[in-house]
Amino acid sequence: MTAGSEEPLADSRNIPALLAALRMQQRSCTVLVTGTPGGSIHVRDGLVVAMETPGAPGVEGLLLRSGRIGEPEWSAVRASDTSHEHLAAELVDRGLVGAGELEVISLSALFDAAFALSLAVPDSWEVADPVPTLYRNAGVTPERLLGEVSRRINLLAGEPGSVAALARTRMRQASTADLPGTVDRLSARHQDVLAATDGRRTARDIAFALGRGLFAVMLDLRHLLDRGLVRPHAPSTDRRPSTAARIAPSRTGPGSTAPSAVAHSALDSVSLSLPRRVPGRNSAPAPRPHD
């Protein structure tokens, strides 16, 4: 651990405060967040460069699931860099993805993971030594991260708790989706989401299946809900990740196209708040309303 190697972070009662302290100290570290979904926050010289969580597709998932690169190419890249410190450079040098495109995907995955982490109260956190991770961006300040997160949450929020509820609710197609001409009038990305809505998948499952960001998928689900094309099937009563299949069904018929190669900018997140620290340990906070 590196938490004790510099000025103590005793005043860091939550992740925003922690990131602000790391920014002031220009620290390089990895913050390990426990809980559901939990994840990792990668900080370099005080800037957040990546976040990873089982709650949303990361850079690897966005590249592979969308079909942007194939499994053999990805395996070759990983084999050439066993330390995983130069994966981004390998992808660009091999011509598998452009430098600018990879930067966009990297930032998209960063904000999407922050959004996913915000939808549940974490149990604890730990500041550890830097861990290699796939990213290609200059890093973002905590202020920019939280500002973008708040903006995205506001786009989805209908009432307190509605964003978290939408994220964990399994959706099914409504009978109106079978009406002649209804689906044909939808954009390709909305058709992809509708086809993947089978009554078993949550927004997270659909995001992994299509290789798109969680926030982008939730925006499209909201669009389909507003038009009466999907409806809640069985709201989840627990907070365990869904085990529904993540392979997306293909759309058939004239004009069918593959899912978008890169998720619409999936910048997202709400509070990212974490428990107050107690000397020697972290304990979970009392439940509180959150999006």
How far is residue 282 from each of residues 13, 144, 161, 202, 206, measured CA to CA in Å? 10, 27, 25, 31, 33
What single-letter DSSP state applies at residue 46?
A: T
pLDDT band at 16 (very low <50, low <70, confident <90, very high): confident
Beta carbons of 16 and 272 less than 8 angstroms apart: yes
Q: Are strands 29-34 and 124-128 parallel, antiparallel or unpaired?
A: antiparallel
Decide if pLDDT at 10 tops 60: no
pLDDT tens-digit profile of 40-79? Answer: 999 999 999 999 999 999 999 999 998 899 999 999 999 9
Maximum average pLDDT range among 86-95, 155-164, 171-180: 86-95
pLDDT in the model for residue 79: 92
Rounded Cα gap, residues 101 and 106, in angstroms: 9
> Over the chain, what is the mean pLDDT?
80
Rounded Cα gap, residues 102 and 108, in angstroms: 10
Decide if pLDDT at 287 tops 50: no
pLDDT in the model for residue 52: 95
What does the pLDDT average to over 35-44?
A: 93
The DSSP code sequence of 221-289 is HHHHHHTTSEEEEEE-SS-SPP----PPPPP-STT--PPPSS-S-----S----PPEETTEE-PPPP--
Two tokens at 240? Answer: 């365990």
pLDDT tens-digit profile of 89-146? Answer: 999 999 999 999 999 999 999 999 999 998 888 888 899 999 999 999 999 999 999 9
Beta carbons of 147 and 177 less than 8 angstroms apart: no
Beta carbons of 59 and 83 less than 8 angstroms apart: no
**CA max distance for the chain:** 65
Which secondary-structure segment (H or E) carries 215? helix 214-226
Decide if pLDDT at 221 tops 70: yes
Beta carbons of 214 and 228 less than 8 angstroms apart: no
Beta carbons of 111 and 274 less than 8 angstroms apart: no
Q: 29 — alpha (psi -120 to 50), left (phi > 0) or beta?
A: beta
pLDDT band at 85 (very low <50, low <70, confident <90, very high): confident
Alpha helix locations (H) across 85-213?
Answer: 87-93, 99-117, 142-156, 162-168, 188-196, 203-210
